[in-house]
Amino acid sequence: MKSIKVSDDDIVINYTAPKFIQFETPALQKVLDDLKTERFEFVGGKMRSELLKNTIITIDSVGYQLGSGGLHSTEKSISHYSDDTYELIDADVTSYYPSIIMLLQLFPEQLGNIFLKVYKGALDKRVQAKKVKDKIIDACYKILLNGSFGKFGSEYSILFAPKLLVTVTVTGQLSLLMLIERLHLAGIECVSANTDGVVIKSPRDSNIVNDVISQWMHDTGFNMEYTHYQSIHSRDVNNYFAIKTDGEIKRKGAYSFYTKPSEREIDKNTSNMICSEAVALFLSNGTSIEDTVRGCTRMNAFLTLCKVDGGAVKDTEYLGKVVRFYHSTSTNTAIIYAKTGHTVPMSEKCRPMMRLTKEIPIDLDYDWYITKCYEILKDVGFK
């Protein structure tokens, strides 16, 4: 790998693939060849690559978008289900980007290989925490490991090493594409991919998926972790509900509020939390949307909380720069920006609740929340 200083702000990097990156199909062989000749630019601390930005690989009708952050599939509004013939398996690489760093022995030149000793210690502690299901320690070391990797791209950090950032992100994407290609050639369909793993439609009466993944792990040096799903319901790759076989509900992106209300009374980014909860319960066990919404007694689940630059106003009353509101049957006006007069998003026919109360107001518009739930179901491809 070579890096060339073009100016004080611009760096151009060429990618060198590890020897284990190999493809069998001409289309992916070309992608690899193109990436080897691509000039990855760092301008003002940001990585740029027209090839990554504009490359989508289609395998079994699923599109896979390359990117500066990782590989992402491009599905929209689609649901997949396990049945008597197939099982949905989420296969994620254990600590993917940190594992690439250790596997390829990557370290910032200004720090030397002492970086690897410290980094490996943190990685080992995270892996151990995951084994014993210590979520707090796991989360702490995840932040440490991924944060250190992210600093490879920060010109203000002592960890600044843009060529390492390119190596890790591109190698990660190519390695996943290797696995997807091998599964495809074995007649196995992947239905989704997101940075560090894939969701596989695995035949129940065959060991072929295990055989393919085991060989891939042997060839690359990575380890996989598995989660089994009853179903997965995606608005897109970053926003979805996944129902695990044990009944646990996984929610990502716009739907990723706390599953247990007792875990936190109100989230700083909350927005109609009851809708996500109602849809999750419906997808998991068929609980009626209407019963969940109308039966909820936690007022915070119906609220939207947002920051309003310049402050918000409702019917000439100034509310402040942070506003909390709910959908109401007793008002037809919106909350607006004090400076511009523009409507605060999603605040039409809403009433502010600047002081949180436990009581449900008599003008709470249950029908609005129920309708929103059915819109979410449509968004995630539920039929």
Q: How many CB atoms lie within 10 A of CB 370?
A: 19
Residue pLDDT, tens place only, 142-195: 999 999 998 998 888 999 999 999 999 999 999 999 999 999 999 999 999 999
Task: Give me the domains of the chain, ranges plus CATH numbers.
Answer: 2-236 (3.90.1600.10), 257-383 (no CATH)
346: left (phi over 0), alpha (psi -120 to 50) or beta: left
Closest CA to 172 of 89, 25, 252, 66: 66
pLDDT band per the 50, 70, 90 thresholds, residue 257: low
Alpha carbons 254 and 342: distance in angstroms, whole number: 24
Instruction: Tokens 């596997």: give the residue.
Output: 103
Find out whether 178 and 220 touch, Cβ atoms under 8 Å. Answer: yes
Closest CA to 326 of 305, 343, 307, 298: 305
pLDDT band per the 50, 70, 90 thresholds, residue 45: low
Please give the order of strands across the beta sheet that includes 72-73: 56-59, 62-65, 72-73
What is the reported pLDDT for 262?
39
All residues at 6 or more sequence positions from 251 whose CB lies less than 8 Å from its CB, including other chains:
240, 241, 242, 257, 259, 276, 280
Residue pLDDT, tens place only, 210-243: 999 999 999 999 999 999 999 999 999 999 999 9
